[in-house]
Structures are given as structure tokens and as C-alpha cells.
Chains A and B, each alone.
Chain A
Amino acid sequence: MPALKSKRNQLTPKESNESRLVTKLRWVIEAVHGIIGQKYKLLHHQLHNSLLPDAGLYCRIACFLQNRFGKRLNSDKGLLDEIISRMNATKNDVNTLAVEVENNNWNRKVTPFQLLSSEELLDFPEMSLDELKVFFTGSCQLSQSVSYLAEIIDENGSFPASTLKIKPEIVRF
């Protein structure tokens, strides 16, 4: 089961890594519900009351047909080994940046940032699509990151990046 946030602002890195281990497998059931809803519209739309006594039967029949004729789900076939080993290796890692931010109270007071142009940001890592998939531990997260990117890009197609004045190796997007 994934961790609960309750009143904190954010999960600890350990908890969020554990949640990732769960989500990596749990997406399957959401996908199954989605597929059944999409294929068998009767169960997706509002059910007529006269069918209500047989609702469970209809569900079981739809699931039986899905078992028999549907595909089994499997994500990231080729990269699976790399992704899993990365997830296992980084499971107990500490978020060093968060610790530094916390220690210096950068999240509490106004911190001076300096706008950054693309000429200055030369050593930013370049990654291939496969490397990105491993980095994000799955193709679902990768496609999500595209929409995050769309959120911060302005209409000219550039996005504002800035560095910390006292420590220029920390970049904020």
C-alpha cells in the first residue's frame, strides 16, 4: 500500500520510493478497469434498473471474455531489467538537495535567484529516450513529464531557468 501523506506537505524520499514500488505494479488493475469500461460499454454507461439483479453476472462475463481474448499487460519489456535494478538500487537513497535546502532554510526565506540563458547551461546532461525511461522508471512517468514541461514553457517555446546566486550549480526551473 502506498504511504499516506496526512498533514505533511510531502512524503519522505523513502516513502515515495516505496510508493513507486507499489504503483509500478498496481497500474495493471486500473488498466483492466479501463479496458473493460471501454470494451463493454454496458458496464460503463448507466445501467438500467431491470438489469440490476444480473449486474454481477454481466461483470463476470465481461471479465471472462477479457481473460480469454484480451491481451496480458506488460510494460517496458526491453528495459525492465535496467528499470528494476535502478529502482532497487536507489530505494534507500537520500535526497541530498532536499537536505541542503532544509539545512539552509532556502524554502523559508526569499532566496536570490539569477536568470539563466541557454549559453550558460552547457553541461546539462543529454539522454536518449531509453535512458529517460530508465531514469523515470517507466514510460507512463515519461509521458507525464512531457505535460509538466508543457506547463512551464511560455508561448515563445522557451522556459525560464534560474540559478542560485550563492551556489550557481543549483538550477531551478
Chain B
Amino acid sequence: MMSSMRNSDNHNVTQAVVAFLCKLRTGNSDKIVSAIRGVEDEKMISEFIHSVLQCFKRDVLPKHFGLHSISREYIIKNHTAAAAQKLHTLSNRLAIICDASYIRHQKSANNTYQSKSYSAQKKTSLCKPFTITTTDGYIIDVPGPFLATKNDAQILDYSLSIENGLSTILKEGDIFILDRGFRDIVSTLK
């Protein structure tokens, strides 16, 4: 899958992937990861992570993740929970669940961004990735991250309006399962 990565003298693909996963799973800094992995130089870890990130961006994600990698029929057939099927008698309609999650981050020195990324609800700086899943927990796509000042309804509105976005797999009669944060957009969806 990761075809663009090459082994070289000081650059081993397995080593790089392990370092990357270690970072992602533990959330430790490059320095700690380099100590755990027994790599002398922490710069090497950040190079590893950078190359794995680029490789995911180029090779893996476009083909295997996101709206464009799967079809509407595939989702209906393989990723619809039995409970949803029976509860709403779907019969070839799509049921998707949307919600925004959040990632906290440090304060930004960029003043305009800082004021837009501060969430008064959580009292901290954050950005909001928007998750779209099927009823059995298969993640269709994660657009974003969006600014913290946007609410769920605005984000969904935006995701629907962009070209090649969510609207490509939707048809009339599909079901959205949402929480109360989306109340502003209910009329548009209908």
C-alpha cells in the first residue's frame, strides 16, 4: 500500500511506520518517542513521521478512505446495522450519523486564528473535525477540521454545499441521524 516509501541506509520503512504509530497512539513528543525507539536523533523521528504522513496523504487515503473510495450501494449493503434496518425500515435508503468532535490545541500566536479557534463552550482553543459514519460505526469521511466558532449545523451545511462533497452519495429519502446541535439545518435537510 505504501508504495512511495523507499528503504535506504538510514531510513527503514518499518521503523518509520512504527515510530509514527508510536507517536499517534501515545501522543508523546518526538523526544520521548526517539528515546523509546532507541533512535539517537529526535530529528530523525520527525523526518520519519513527516514521510509517513506524506505517504498516507498520497497513496493510502485517496484510495482507501473517504467519500470517493466507497459507493453508496456498498455502504447500504455492508455497513448498515440491523437495528437501523428494522427500526426505520430503510430498504435501500442510506442512514448516516453526523457529529462534530474536537481536538484541543495550544493557543496560537496568530491573533485572528486564535480568536476563531477559541470555544466558549469548552473554554479552550480547539478545532473541530466532523465525523460522518454509518449506523454500524464505519467512518465514511472526516471533513475538516473546522473552526471552533462554527456550530454543527453550519458545518453540515458547508459539507453538503461543496462540490464532490457529501451530496454526491445522497439521494432523496435518505436518513440523517443527528443530535440537537443540528436544529438550524433540519428544514434544509427536509
Contact (Cβ within 8 A) B29 A72: no
- The A35-60 residues at the B interface (CB cut-off 8 A) are 36, 39-49, 52, 54-60
Tell which of A21, A54, A59, A66 touches B53, judged by Cβ atoms closer than 8 Å. A54
**A68–B63 Cα gap in the complex (Å)?**
13
**Would B95 and A2 count as touching, CB distance under 8 A?**
no
- Are A42 and B27 in contact, with the CB atoms below 8 A? yes
Whether A98 sits at the interface, judged by CB under 8 Å, is no
Contact B131 A32 (CB under 8 A): yes
User: How many whole Å from B10's CB to the nearest CB in chain A?
Assistant: 23
Residues of B contacting A67 in the complex (Cβ-Cβ under 8 angstroms): 65, 138-139
Q: Which one of A80-88, A110-118, A122-130, A155-163 is at the B interface?
A: A80-88
Please tell me if the beta carbons of B105 and A52 are within 8 angstroms of each other in the complex.
Answer: yes
Using Cβ atoms and an 8 Å threshold, which residues of chain B touch A64? 56, 60-61, 64-65
The A/B interface has a contact count, at CB < 8 Å, of 155
Residues of B near any A CB (own CB < 8 A): 23-27, 29, 53, 56-57, 60-61, 64-66, 79, 81-84, 86-88, 95, 97-99, 101, 103-106, 108, 127, 129, 131, 133, 135-139, 142, 144-145, 177-180, 182-183, 186
Q: What residues on A are CB-neighbors of B182 within 8 Å? A: 1
CB-based contact B179/A42 at 8 Å: no
Distance of A31 Cα from B106 Cα, bound (Å): 26
Interface of chain A: mostly helix, strand, loop or mixed: helix
Q: Which A residues are CB-close (under 8 A) to B86?
A: 80-81, 84
Q: For residue A40, which residues in chain B have a CB less than 8 angstroms away from its CB? A: 24-25, 27
Cα–Cα distance between A91 and B136 once the two chains are bound (Å): 23
- B-facing residues in A54-104 (Cβ within 8 Å): 54-64, 66-68, 70-76, 80-81, 84, 87-88
A residues in contact with B65, CB < 8 Å: 60, 63-64, 67
